[in-house]
């Protein structure tokens, strides 16, 4: 079996290559406002780029925005594609391949996640130290070879993020932890969360893991940042209103911007 090639709009691809982004960031639910901090140079919808499914989730705009953030040229994906929208692992990870095709070699993946670790607080950020892929699939299905997943999330970049957080007084609200990635779209049962806690997960969500696998297969350096938007099922205070999830992530988005600048 082989893997079908992507086909993107050549004109936009050339424009993005000329811009030469140093950093790519995929913005999860509610983090979309991070784009406001960008000195915008250009933007286009996922649809205009061709070969990319459109995101249907509230809180996900489904477009690329590029420009300067602080001193750096950044390409933001405002929104992403999810398995639970009915797409396969290749479609979910097309944004990562697009970013790689235009020169991005450092990729930050952000998401909204449920908290499993009682030491964390809602609205806090968790820098991913590792993940557990429970989606049952991989973007590398049909590709040749096997890739290692040790240090999938760059230890050096993690260290940089923690140093920056300490510098700007966010040390207490930025944690390190393991992210469990599930297919969704339903939230978990308390029994499932109990199992995930036993397995060493600190946060749970429905994205990111496949993008990380794809990015690592392409040799990109990856950082993952979760916003802990709610307590997971069975945890005291658990709640699952998507509007609340987006609202909490919006507030935490300001911290994310400070970490990025």
**CB neighbourhood size of 2 (10 A):** 7
Residue 124 found at the interface with ligand HPA (CB under 6 A):
no
Site string for ligand HPA, 159-198 (x = CB under 6 A): ----------------------------xx----------
Please, which residues have CB within 8 angstroms of residue 116's CB and are 6 or more apart in sequence? Answer: 180, 193, 196, 197, 201, 202, 203, 204, 232, 235
Which of 99, 170, 232, 260 binds ligand HPA (CB under 6 A)? It is: 232
Question: What span, in angstroms and rounded, lies between the C-alpha atoms of 235 and 212?
Answer: 27
Range in contact with ligand HPA (rule: CB under 6 A) among 52-60, 75-83, 100-108, 200-208: 200-208
Residue 245 binds to ligand HPA (criterion: CB under 6 A) = yes
Question: Of 78 and 230, which has the nearer Cβ to ligand HPA?
Answer: 230
| Sole window of 4-12, 67-75, 138-146, 227-235 interacting with ligand HPA (rule: CB under 6 A) | 227-235
- Calpha distance 116→57 (Å, rounded): 24
Q: How far is the CB of 113 from ligand HPA (least distance, A)?
A: 5
Q: Cβ of residue 191: shortest distance to ligand HPA, in angstroms?
A: 14
145: exposed, middle or buried (Cβ count in 10 Å: 0-12, 13-18, 19+): exposed
> CA–CA separation, 186 vs 10, rounded Å?
38
Candidates 71-79, 91-99, 109-117, 214-222: pick the segment binding ligand HPA (CB under 6 A). 109-117
Residue 213 to residues 61, 102, 130, 257, Cα–Cα distance (Å): 24, 19, 11, 25
Token pair belonging to 52: 């990319």
- The H or E element spanning position 90 is helix 89-92
Q: Is 229 in the site for ligand HPA (CB under 6 A)?
A: yes
Nearest CB to ligand HPA, comparing residues 138 and 229: 229
Distance separating alpha carbons of residues 242 and 29, to the nearest angstrom: 9
φ and ψ at residue 29, rounded to 5 degrees = -45, 125
What positions carry a catalytic annotation? 29, 60, 82, 84-85, 112, 206-207, 230, 242
- Calculate the dihedral angle through the C-alpha atoms of 239, 83, 156, 169, rounding to the nearest 10 degrees: -30
Which residue, 16 or 193, has its beta carbon nearer to ligand HPA?
Answer: 193
Q: Write each residue from 59 to 98 as x if it is in contact with ligand HPA (CB under 6 A), else as -, in one continuous string.
A: ----------------------------------------
Strands 221-231 and 106-115: parallel
Stretch that binds ligand HPA, among 77-85, 90-98, 168-176, 202-210 (CB under 6 A): 202-210
Binding residues vs ligand HPA (CB under 6 A): 112-114, 187-188, 204-206, 229-230, 232, 245
């Amino acid at each position: 079996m082989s893997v079908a090639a992507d086909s993107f709009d050549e004109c936009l691809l050339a424009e993005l290559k000329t811009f030469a982004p140093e950093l790519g960031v995929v913005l999860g639910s509610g983090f979309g406002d991070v784009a406001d901090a960008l000195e915008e140079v250009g933007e286009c919808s996922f649809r205009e780029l061709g070969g990319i499914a459109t995101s249907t989730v509230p809180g996900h705009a489904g477009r690329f925005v590029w420009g300067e953030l602080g001193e750096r040229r950044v390409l933001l994906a405002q929104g992403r594609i999810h398995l639970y929208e009915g797409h396969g692992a290749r479609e979910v990870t097309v944004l990562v391949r697009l970013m790689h095709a235009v020169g991005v070699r450092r990729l930050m993946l952000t998401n909204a996640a449920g908290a499993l670790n009682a030491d964390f607080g809602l609205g806090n950020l968790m820098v991913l130290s590792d993940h557990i892929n429970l989606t049952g699939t991989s973007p590398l299905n049909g590709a040749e070879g096997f890739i290692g997943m040790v240090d999938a999330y760059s230890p050096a970049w993690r260290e940089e993020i923690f140093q920056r957080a300490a510098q700007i007084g966010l040390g207490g609200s930025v944690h390190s932890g393991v992210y469990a990635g599930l297919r969704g779209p339903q939230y978990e049962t308390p029994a499932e969360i109990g199992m995930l806690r036993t397995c060493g997960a600190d946060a749970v969500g429905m994205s990111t893991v496949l993008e990380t696998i794809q990015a690592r297969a392409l040799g990109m350096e990856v950082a993952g940042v979760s916003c802990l938007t709610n307590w997971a099922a069975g945890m005291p205070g658990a709640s699952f209103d998507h509007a609340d999830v987006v609202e909490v992530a919006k507030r935490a988005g300001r911290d994310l911007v400070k970490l990025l600048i």
